[in-house]
Amino acid sequence: MKWEGCQITAYHYNIIANMMLLTCATHLMAVTVVRNYWRFPWMGGIRVLIMTGVFTVTGLLLSNQNSDGNNQTQCGQQHYQPITTG
């Protein structure tokens, strides 16, 4: 049995990358505008950890945005081989 995974077009990949970039910019604006962001330090720390993850994923998306010029990007491609016994 062969599992192909999903495919995404380069256009949709660029849309996702741009949306992630917009999310990062929005969060940075919120940090600078909101006065009580660090009122509860543990909650602020959780926010920083989550946004660090978002920044990392955004960086990966933007670095792979125009990697090979192919119109289709495959994700999760795995091949399963049936197990034979006997």
Per residue in 9-65, pLDDT (tens digit) is: 888 888 888 888 888 888 888 877 787 878 888 988 898 898 889 888 888 877 877
pLDDT, residue 82, reads: 53
pLDDT, residue 55, reads: 84
Per residue in 47-60, pLDDT (tens digit) is: 889 888 988 888 88
**Contact between residue 24 and residue 51 where contact means Cβ atoms under 8 Å apart:** yes
**42-75: buried (b, 16+ CB within 10 Å) or exposed (e) per residue?**
eeeeebeeebeeebeebeebeeeeeeeeeeebee
Domain total of the chain: 1
pLDDT, residue 71, reads: 45
Residue 75 within any structural domain of the chain:
no
Query: Other C-beta atoms within 10 Å of 17: how many?
Result: 19
pLDDT, residue 80, reads: 47
Beta strands 78-79 and 6-9, pairing class:
unpaired
Give the integer Cα–Cα distance in Å for 48 and 71.
35
Give the integer Cα–Cα distance in Å for 53 and 69.
27
Cα-flanking dihedrals φ and ψ of residue 47, to 5°? -60, -40
Domain span at residue 41 reads 2-65
Residue 14 within any structural domain of the chain:
yes
Residue 7 within any structural domain of the chain:
yes
